[in-house]
Amino acid sequence: MKIEPAVKAETKKIAIGTAILSVLMIAVFLILRRFDWTVLTGALLGYCATVGNFFLMALTVQHVTGSMPALPKQETEETGDAEEEKKDQPLSDEAKQAGKRMQASFLLRMLMIGAVAAIAVTQKQIFNPWAALVPLLFPNILITVRRLIGTDQKEA
């Protein structure tokens, strides 16, 4: 499977943003005088899990949207009846399969994140749990900031 440029670009943005936020997080540990080498290993574990999770999600979306047949354009009437008819139509087999793939991907990715969290929490001598778990929130922060400052609309 060829990785689409959009997947590469979005993953790169998340990777760079997560790296920047991870450095800021490490700086907070330094300021609070809580820094030790487990902060670095925890941050690295969290970074890899975060970027890996985002990349796998983007690949799943690419695969699902790439396997779907192109939808025919429907002309909308002034009364809006076309929209009502579309809502009442049953899902196609392709749409059901796409939904199942997305659900399976979500489940597997959440199991991966759960495993990373379990490792971080149980292996405190190797990983600082906070440094490993906080980066999991970074993509949500980055996406929200991008929406607030309007960079997502400019790229679309």
Q: pLDDT digits over 51-75, tens only?
A: 999 999 999 999 998 876 665 555 5
- Is a pLDDT exceeding 60 seen at residue 155? no
Contact call for residues 131 and 34 (beta carbons, < 8 A): no
In 3D space, the residue among 123, 100, 127 whose CA is nearest the CA of residue 45 turns out to be 127
Could you tell me the pTM of the whole model? 0.81
Which whole number is the average pLDDT over 28-35? 98
* Domain segments of the chain as ranges: 5-68+94-155
**31-45, 54-68, 119-133: the lowest-pLDDT one:** 54-68
Q: pLDDT value at position 89? A: 72
37-67 vs 5-31: helix crossing angle, rounded to 10: 160
pLDDT at 45 exceeding the cut of 60:
yes
